[in-house]
Amino acid sequence: MNALQKGLRFFYKAEEAVIALLIIIATAVLFFNVVMRFGFDTNASWANELIRYAMIWITFIGMAICFRKGVHVGIDFILHYLSKRATKALQFIVHVLSILFLIFLGYFGMELVLFSMNTGQITPSLEIAIYWVYLIIPIGCLLSIFHLVTLSIQLLRKKEETSLNNVTEGDSV
Amino acid sequence: MITLLIILIIALLFISAPIFVSLGLASFISVLLLSNTEPMILVQRMFAGLDQFALMALPFFILAANIMEGGGLSDRLLRWARALVGHLAGGVAMTTQVSSMFFGALSGSSPATVVAIGKIMYPELVRRKYDPAFAAGLLASAGSISLIIPPSITLIVLASVVTSVSVGELFTAGIGAGLIFGIVTIIYIYVYSKKQNLPRDKRATFRELMQATVKAFWALLIPVIILGGIYAGIFTPTEAAGISAVYALIISVFVYREMTWKKFYDVCVESAVTSAQVLVLVASAQILGWLLTRSGIPQQIAGYVTEHVGSVLLFLLLINIALLVMGMFMEGIAAIIIVAPLIFPAASGLGVDPVHLGILMICNLAIGMYTPPFGINIFVTQTISKLNMVEMIPGLKRFLAVQIAALLIITYVPESALFLLHLFD
Amino acid sequence: GGGQEESEGGTSGDSGSGGYNNMTITFSHNQPEDSPEHTGAVAFKDHIEEATDGNVTVDLYPASQMGSLREQVEGTQLGEIDITMQPSAVVTPFVDSVKLIDLPYLWPASNEQKYEVLDSEVGEELLGTLNEGGFEGLGYWPGGFKLFTTSGTEIHEPSDFEGLTMRTMESPALITQYEEWGGSAEPVAYAEVYNALQQGVVDGQENPLQTIYLNDFHKVQDYVVESYHGTMTYLLMANQSWFNGLNEQTQEAVKEAEAAGVEAAREDLAATEDEYRQNIKDSEAQYYELTEEEIANFREASQPIHDEIVQDESQQEILSKLKEKIDEVRSE
Ligand code: NA
Ligand code: NA
């Protein structure tokens, strides 16, 4: 394993650790909020908001991981009628189109972040600036683009097929 | 613009681009080329699609189901269910349907129901020689029932859009309609399984049943905690989901001792990834729904339909058809927000009971959850069954026919759904 | 393409006949079509369409068709919605100063007196703070006084909130209000309130008569308390750069239509409130109106909360002017 591969592997593990941590935090907050309600007749007004935003962060980081693992849901019947070569070409095209979408989403997501920075909207319960929540959108897009570029390079260099949609699950899952 | 949008979506789906990429890319291109709409608004709509109280239960139900599976709870529950009904024709399929109904009674989220039940029951159905397409169709359609059986987020949204009906009335009617859907499906499963002569279990002895019950005791408490918690007014579905996840974790680590911390970590990663898989779809569906609302096309169609119809029976039939078609392409809440304000005034002009119409809407949209090309339950079932959509279609068609039969009963015998409501009056 | 291109072709400000801009206004709000709010919106639409000989048309999007409350405010900020009518509480995370409107026991217990203060100079000044968030404040639209509804505990004094969790709109000021009274608060989404009350996630909530009645909140609550502690005040607001881009004549037409709309909404509200109150009294929920003395106690206990919530100097200045005006109106 060379340094590049080691670095990649560490990066992948870190990405997964973040979403695992987020879902654990969300569950813990949810659980303790219920305990607080029964035990102490009180409620953290920010609990719901924190859970929703954790879920949104999970979604956009998870979006990138789903690209890496090739598990995004699609209607892939056409792949059953194509030759291996054609499948590979189509997969490459789909990667390029996905990158195009992610550029749009990331770019206008970043614009939304900057817009919110200027207009100063805060979240009602946590009272943090909302751009901290929006920021995950461009971040998720960058991560996704990184994975798609890596996959496309692999696709061009190697003979083997990489799965596109929901055919196999990744190594650690 | 809508024409370009629809052409692009179909083209992208056809070349097997991920569904959320197809919807999102088509929307961005159409908006950038042909409209003055600020593109940031598309990002805002995706965010809005996720930033919903209603969706919060989803990751926790996924997590709870994964922990139950990894920690040996599902396994014990299943053995218990098999000891109980496995000897009946279609016993495992019936268990799937009935447990989906139970789950629907504690979850407002249809895809969460498919995940929770499917993770456990799908492998079992296939192992018991059920046709995978049948099993997948059963799962996807059985999950849709959670839209109809209260608590249902979709019903609440409907009541908030149409003020002539109350949430309470819709919930009560939802129980009746959900039962009709369930009973009709169970009859079909029985007939199908008899015909197919699927292998049955030997009837378990009382001793065997008791043994299975003792082994499954801690797991059996979960539905009690969840159902009891919600109907006793203690938890929300989201909280019930979170609590069942924590409870399942405790049981599987300390009682069954089948869950290591390493395994727990992997379950968390898997649950988060599966949640993201579903949630990106919800987010992108929101963009599409919004662009359609803005275009005014669904409103025009609905307006035309209501203008040229005189009879109640024909009106209800047309509503059913229109909503079934709409449900093929749209997510339920988006469809309600667009259609309900237009058809309810027309319906009251014709003298249609608004609660009846409301529950019919929900039944149609529930069916739409698993009708191709766009149905979240299909996609979720795909992640469980690893079948592609084409492979699933024969199974989906069976249950579509069955549930349309249930829908017709509810349409033309309103009392079948509304009897509970009139009982309470 | 659909109607969208047509409607947006106009918003760029083409000049039409008679000196008016030729355009379609996108107008959104949250309430159903049989609400006083919608009556006002329709009056706005009818007035401006007639006054401008059809040069200006209005597309109404009631019942949160354009998204949740927060999203509609943000959509207006982004310029996707031209005009929106939103509760002041929901605008607070965007423009902090409007939280003054929701301070507990700030207003006199009379709609007419409240209207008089809002229509005064200091009302205008407060409306002007909306510019900070990129909005043009067009006016205050009425939603009536909020009532407490609770289960288990009937509210007579602030300490009755101890151990209760109240649902509020998404506003830091409203959360602080209940925390200062000794309870806790949780901003549950509007569509979820019924369920949250039924399942006891929250013990109570606050809303005007029509919202309580039309959503059946009284059926899942034990007590409905007419408290006069606060008002549902809607801000009718436009995207600022959109509004500034209109020619003077069209801006005038918008302002006149606003006046016609707010009048229609106030009339409709007055006409329906008694009916809703009677229906709630006839239901199984206990209806209670705080006595003058209880209100006075509440009012006194709430003054420190004003200082707690309002710490910014310029906000304090507006608040003292508001209180001055309120005293003046009350002594009339
Ligand atoms: Na349900
Ligand atoms: Na569908």
Which band of pLDDT confidence, cut at 50, 70 and 90, is reported for residue A171? very low
Q: What is the mean pLDDT of residues B68-72?
A: 78
C101-105, C185-189, C310-314: the lowest-pLDDT one:
C185-189
Which band of pLDDT confidence, cut at 50, 70 and 90, is reported for residue B312? confident
Share of chain A above pLDDT 70, in %: 88
Q: Is the pLDDT of residue A169 over 60?
A: no
Record: contact B276-A65, CB cut-off 8 A:
yes
* Type of residue found at A146: F
In this structure, the dihedral spanned by the alpha carbons of residues C25, C31, C35 and C41, taken in order and rounded to 10 degrees, is -10
| Model ipTM value | 0.87
- What is the C-alpha end-to-end distance of chain B, expressed in Å? 50
Interface of B with A in 355-374 (CB under 8 A): 373
- CA-closest candidate to residue B13, choices A170, A97, A146, A167: A97
- DSSP letters, C138-158, are EEEEEEEEEEEEESS---SSG
Record: contact B41-C78, CB cut-off 8 A:
yes
Q: Which of the ligands is closest to the CA of residue B226?
A: 1
Record: contact C4-B40, CB cut-off 8 A:
no
Instruction: State whether residue A37 sits within 8 Å of chain C by CB.
Output: yes
Residues of chain A with Cβ-Cβ distance to B383 below 8 Å are 71, 73, 166
Residues of chain B with Cβ-Cβ distance to A52 below 8 Å are 50-53, 56
Sequence-distant (≥ 6) Cβ neighbours of residue A165 within 8 angstroms: A70, A71, A72, A73, A74, A76, B16, B18
Instruction: State whether residue B231 sits within 8 Å of chain C by CB.
Output: no
In a mutational test of the A interface, the residue from B13, B14, B16, B44 whose CB has the highest number of chain A CBs within 10 Å is B16
Greater confidence (C306 vs B218) lies with C306
Sequence-distant (≥ 6) Cβ neighbours of residue C297 within 8 angstroms: C157, C158
- Comparing alpha-carbon positions, the chain B residue that sits nearest to C199 is B233
Q: What is the mean pLDDT of residues B84-92?
A: 77
Record: contact C134-A120, CB cut-off 8 A:
no
Strand ranges in C165-271 using DSSP code E only, listed in sequence order = 165-167, 184-186, 204-208, 223-226, 231-239
Greater confidence (B195 vs B153) lies with B195
Q: What is the pLDDT of residue B420?
A: 75
**Which chains share 3+ C-beta pairs under 8 angstroms with B?**
A, C
CA of B367 to the centre of ligand 1 (A): 14
C69 Cα to chain B: minimum distance (Å): 11
Q: Which of the ligands is closest to the CA of residue B364?
A: 2
pLDDT tens digit sequence for B220-238: 787 677 666 766 667 776 7
Q: What is the pLDDT of residue A168?
A: 31
Q: Is the pLDDT of residue B108 over 60?
A: no
Q: For residue C147, how many C-alpha atoms fall within 13 Å in the half-sphere facing its CB?
A: 25
Tokens of B408: 């017709």
Record: contact A121-C185, CB cut-off 8 A:
no
Record: contact B382-A73, CB cut-off 8 A:
yes
Buried b (16+ CB within 10 A) or exposed e, C271-284: ebbeebbeebeeee
Q: Which of the ligands is closest to the CA of residue B327?
A: 2
Record: contact C75-B44, CB cut-off 8 A:
yes
Q: What is the pLDDT of residue B61?
A: 77
Interface of C with A in 52-111 (CB under 8 A): 70, 74, 77-78, 92-94
A110-114, B46-50, B179-183, C139-143: the lowest-pLDDT one:
B46-50
Record: contact C170-A125, CB cut-off 8 A:
yes
A-C contacts (CB, under 8 Å): 52
Tokens of C78: 């982004």
Q: Are the CB atoms for B175 and B155 separated by under 8 Å? A: no
C103 Cα to chain B: minimum distance (Å): 27
DSSP helix/strand/coil, C187: coil
Q: What is the mean pLDDT of residues B129-145?
A: 93
Residues of chain B with Cβ-Cβ distance to A172 below 8 Å are 266, 269
pLDDT tens digit sequence for C191-233: 778 878 887 778 999 999 989 998 889 999 999 999 999 999 9
Which band of pLDDT confidence, cut at 50, 70 and 90, is reported for residue C9? very low
Tokens of B296: 């005014």
B-C contacts (CB, under 8 Å): 114
- Comparing alpha-carbon positions, the chain C residue that sits nearest to A34 is C201
- DSSP letters, A112-159, are HHHHHHHHT-B-TTT--BTHHHHTHHHHHHHHHHHHHHHHHHHHHH-S
Q: Are the CB atoms for B213 and C176 separated by under 8 Å? A: no
- Comparing alpha-carbon positions, the chain C residue that sits nearest to A120 is C94
Record: contact C94-A119, CB cut-off 8 A:
yes
Record: contact C175-A124, CB cut-off 8 A:
yes
pLDDT tens digit sequence for A63-85: 999 999 998 877 666 777 888 88
B229-233, B407-411, C15-19, C135-139: the lowest-pLDDT one:
B229-233
Question: Over chain A, what is the mean pLDDT?
Answer: 87
Out of C93, C134, C184, closest to residue A45 by CB: C184
Q: Is the pLDDT of residue C184 over 70?
A: yes
- CA-closest candidate to residue C37, choices C189, C145, C141, C190: C141
CA of B384 to the centre of ligand 1 (A): 21
Q: Are the CB atoms for B13 and B250 separated by under 8 Å? A: no
Looking at residue C1, what DSSP letter applies?
Answer: -
Record: contact A74-B19, CB cut-off 8 A:
yes
Q: Which of the ligands is closest to the CA of residue B376?
A: 2
CA of B229 to the centre of ligand 2 (A): 32
Q: What is the pLDDT of residue C8?
A: 39
Tokens of B40: 């940031």
Record: contact C172-A43, CB cut-off 8 A:
no
Record: contact B294-C68, CB cut-off 8 A:
no
Out of B45, B168, B337, closest to residue C219 by CB: B168
Greater confidence (C54 vs B241) lies with C54
Q: What is the mean pLDDT of residues C106-129?
A: 95
- CA-closest candidate to residue C4, choices B340, B33, B2: B2
Q: What is the pLDDT of residue C2?
A: 33
Which band of pLDDT confidence, cut at 50, 70 and 90, is reported for residue B413? very high
Greater confidence (C196 vs C263) lies with C263
Record: contact A45-C185, CB cut-off 8 A:
yes
A107 Cα to chain C: minimum distance (Å): 16
Q: How far apart are CA A35 and CA B242, in angstroms?
A: 12
Q: How far apart are CA B2 and CA B198, in angstroms?
A: 48
Q: How far apart are CA A41 and CA A30, in angstroms?
A: 15
Record: contact C75-B41, CB cut-off 8 A:
yes
Query: Across chain A, which distance is largest between two alpha carbons, in Å?
Result: 65
pLDDT tens digit sequence for B329-361: 776 766 776 677 667 767 766 778 889 999 999
B361 Cα to chain A: minimum distance (Å): 27
By CB atoms closer than 10 A (0-12, 13-18, 19+), residue C132 is middle
Interface of B with A in 211-240 (CB under 8 A): 235, 238-239
Share of chain B above pLDDT 70, in %: 86
Out of C93, C162, C202, closest to residue A124 by CB: C93
In a mutational test of the C interface, the residue from B6, B35, B294 whose CB has the highest number of chain C CBs within 10 Å is B294
Record: contact A69-B246, CB cut-off 8 A:
no
Interface of B with A in 38-57 (CB under 8 A): 39-40, 42-44, 46-47, 50-53, 55-56
A52 Cα to chain C: minimum distance (Å): 12
Q: What is the pLDDT of residue B167?
A: 67
Is the omega angle on the peptide bond into residue B298 within 30 degrees of 0, that is, cis?
no
C301 Cα to chain B: minimum distance (Å): 32
Q: Are the CB atoms for B418 and B176 separated by under 8 Å? A: yes
Out of C4, C196, C216, closest to residue B236 by CB: C196
Question: Over chain B, what is the mean pLDDT?
Answer: 83
Tokens of C125: 């000044």
Q: What is the mean pLDDT of residues C237-258?
A: 97
Residues of chain B with Cβ-Cβ distance to A112 below 8 Å are 40, 43-44
Question: Over chain C, what is the mean pLDDT?
Answer: 91
Q: How far apart are CA A115 and CA B8, in angstroms?
A: 29
Which band of pLDDT confidence, cut at 50, 70 and 90, is reported for residue B299? low
DSSP helix/strand/coil, A169: coil
Q: Are the CB atoms for C286 and C223 separated by under 8 Å? A: yes
Whether the full predicted model's pTM is greater than 0.90, yes or no, is no
Strand partners, C186: C167
Greater confidence (C51 vs B348) lies with C51
Q: What is the mean pLDDT of residues B96-123?
A: 76
CA of B242 to the centre of ligand 1 (A): 17
Q: Are the CB atoms for C68 and C189 separated by under 8 Å? A: yes
B66 Cα to chain A: minimum distance (Å): 12
- Comparing alpha-carbon positions, the chain B residue that sits nearest to C69 is B48
Q: What is the 3-state secondary structure (H, E, C) of chain B?
A: CHHHHHHHHHHHHHCCCEHHHHHHHHHHHHHHHHCCCCCHHHHHHHHHHHCCHHHHHHHHHHHHHHHHHHCCHHHHHHHHHHHHHCCCCCHHHHHHHHHHHHHHCCCCCHHHHHHHHHHHHHHHHHHCCCCHHHHHHHHHHHHHHHHCCCCCHHHHHHHHHCCCCCHHHHHHHHHHHHHHHHHHHHHHHHHHHHHHCCCCCCCCCHHHHHHHHHHCHHHHHHHHHHHHHHHCCCCCHHHHHHHHHHHHHHHHHHHCCCCCHHHHHHHHHHHHHHHHHHHHHHHHHHHHHHHHHHHCHHHHHHHHHHHCCCCHHHHHHHHHHHHHHHHHHCCHHHHHHHHHHHHHHHHHHHCCCHHHHHHHHHHHHHHHCCCCCCCHHHHHHHHHHCCCHHHHHHHHHHHHHHHHHHHHHHHHCCHHHHHHHHHHC
